[in-house]
A and B are shown apart, each in its own frame.
Chain A
């Protein structure tokens, strides 16, 4: 079995393994959401809970500097064996409500804030707060301790 060392999960353990993985946790719509495998753009890698955009060839690429509503959250990232084998990551499409701990911790968030996706620097592609008029991917339903609950609304425009 191919295995890379995950330092935090190899003894001595330096991660609290009793906590829930909230990279992306769909809490409404699991039965109806589309889980679609999609090819990766050249050199692109994604962790679970990161967001990508489709390039002109229909492959998943890292988002650019501008806020976009045309983004999809990665459900199975490139750290998985099956993704390594297929060369495709799994993205979520359709209507769902999810919890995520992968969001830009810089801004302060409130319920009803709109969320968008852009390159936050260094290629980081996670949810961030949408400025007024910016295209977004969802809306905050709950601000938790270290996580957001959001409703995925592609092509939403922040008021």
Chain B
């Protein structure tokens, strides 16, 4: 609807459309479409644990309060044994395990702006929506995801503290073995841009001259690191420099559910324009042994900050 339109014209049109009910509906729809597309590109949790859509019918409610959960099964164990002809194997009463994923809401701030002031902006209002709503929401998703991963490794102890000062293959190897050595396989490695930068300065004696030469010119341009899909984030407040995470593929890791779709609300009251965005999600690391972390002794990349992480 707003493609090929300069920013000021866009903002003007935006305000006029808010004066009609039909216009508000169209703007809300356009905003929702835009939000959904962008958040899939930038949330790292979604790249590690792709979300599934659920509806109210998929969820269970509580008798004690008005909240919802999604109950997910954990694969039942089984085994075989060698026995004599006239003997028989052990018996097992099937007793499946499940876990509950509580749904919760992530909501942007409610943005309020005077229509006159809105016209003073030289960039499209969609940028504002993106920067102030989409990024806030995706950041909370990622923050909760890492919080849940921390809870997992606090139980499994799949956390190594290393004195190494930068990410390299040796440290990643230590990280991967915590999962690969537990009858699982690392599918994804999550690291921040600081450690990714460090990974690219490995000497030719480590990675070989062709790759070192290539990295020096083009950077590390592969999607995989040591045959594991890499997810690089610039959110160093959530994934601290020096912290590198490894995960299995989603089927062995957990679940991420979105109830219905992300909602975008917009309203004009007199000269005030206000809007907000929210979603209902639930996520869980059902298989806590499928997560591991290594913590390197990485110095602060900002010299004036000093210290290390």
**CB-CB under 8 A for A11 and B99, given A16-B289, A25-B92, A30-B93:** yes
Contact between A17 and B287, CB atoms less than 8 A apart = yes
B76 nearest CB neighbor, chain A only: A20
Contact between B77 and A13, CB atoms less than 8 A apart = no
Q: Which of A6, A13, A31 contacts B288 (CB 8 A)?
A: A13
On chain B, the residues within 8 Å of A1 by CB distance are: 60-61, 63
Q: B148 an interface residue at 8 Å Cβ cutoff?
A: yes
Q: How far is the CB of B83 from chain A (nearest CB, A)?
A: 12
Contact bitstring A19-31, B, C-beta under 8 A = 1, else 0: 0110001111111
Contact between A25 and B93, CB atoms less than 8 A apart = yes
Q: How many residues of B contact A (CB 8 A)?
A: 35
Most buried by B among A3, A30, A31: A3
Q: How far is the CB of A46 from chain B (nearest CB, A)?
A: 16
On chain B, the residues within 8 Å of A6 by CB distance are: 100
Q: What residues of chain B have their CB less than 8 Å away from a CB belonging to chain A?
A: 60-63, 69, 74-75, 77, 90-93, 95, 97-102, 147-148, 151-152, 154-156, 254, 282-289
**CB-CB under 8 A for A20 and B151, given A11-B101, A13-B288:** no
Number of A-B residue pairs at CB separation under 8 A = 82
Q: How large is the interface on A (under 10, 10 to 19, 20 to 34, 35 or more residues)?
A: 20 to 34
Q: A9 an interface residue at 8 Å Cβ cutoff?
A: yes
Contact between B100 and A12, CB atoms less than 8 A apart = no
Q: Which of A3, A10, A18 contacts B74 (CB 8 A)?
A: A18
Given A14-B155, A16-B288, A20-B77, 16 other A-B residues pairs in contact with their CB atoms under 8 A = A1-B61, A1-B63, A5-B100, A11-B101, A11-B284, A13-B151, A13-B286, A13-B288, A14-B151, A14-B288, A15-B288, A17-B74, A18-B75, A27-B90, A29-B91, A31-B91
Q: How far is the CB of B62 from chain A (nearest CB, A)?
A: 6
Contact between A10 and B102, CB atoms less than 8 A apart = yes
Q: How far is the CB of B75 from chain A (nearest CB, A)?
A: 8
